[in-house]
Amino acid sequence: MIDLADELGKKTPRYSMKYRRLIEGYARKGAIDFHEKGEKSYDLGKFFTNFYELYIYSAFIGLSLDNPLPISDDEDTKTFGVPMRDWTSNGAAQIVQYLWMSMFVKSNIDFNKLENMEQKDVEREMRSISRSIEAYANGGFDFINSKVTENPSFFDDDDCFVKLLKEVDLINIQI
């Protein structure tokens, strides 16, 4: 039997380089941003401890808004160099599993057929799920970026990313 979590966990989703500055502005890149031992990410003016945490947050924003923006083939992209199975800091492992479950629901994968597929076909399906994660994260980044453009001072507040979730809820209520 094929372990879907293992297959999907091997993937390293991409992000569009047009959001690189946004990501660097609100998240640290591992230990590279540590200036002094013991300094916390919020002391550095950052809200997320790792790039992939902002990526997960953005994917859920994109999901909530049902705003997948697939990355085009000609777009400059990058990965975090860390497969999703290793996105484990600050309890992120369980949140990653929720993200995967959400993607499985959105994908309409036939799990009965999946069970009988060849390994290469399962890998293709998991690549498709990974691309969906990229699309929803891209949609979330687009929403956050538009908020930065519209009201940069919004992000001066320590609770801005919690408040942003409330705004997403309000948008969903209006839809």
**Tens of pLDDT, residues 1-26:** 578 888 899 999 999 999 999 999 99
Q: What is the pTM of this model?
A: 0.87
Beta pairing, strands 14-16 & 77-79: antiparallel
pLDDT digits (tens, 9 = 90+) for 71-130: 999 999 999 889 999 998 777 789 999 999 999 999 988 888 888 889 899 999 999 999
Q: Name the domain count of the chain.
A: 1
Cα–Cα distance between 15 and 134 in angstroms, integer? 6
What does the block give as tokens for 128?
């498709």
Nearest CA among 175, 154, 149 for reference residue 64: 175
Range of the domain at 58: 4-174
The per-residue pLDDT for range 28-62, each reduced to its tens digit, is 775 444 444 455 544 555 788 889 999 999 999 99
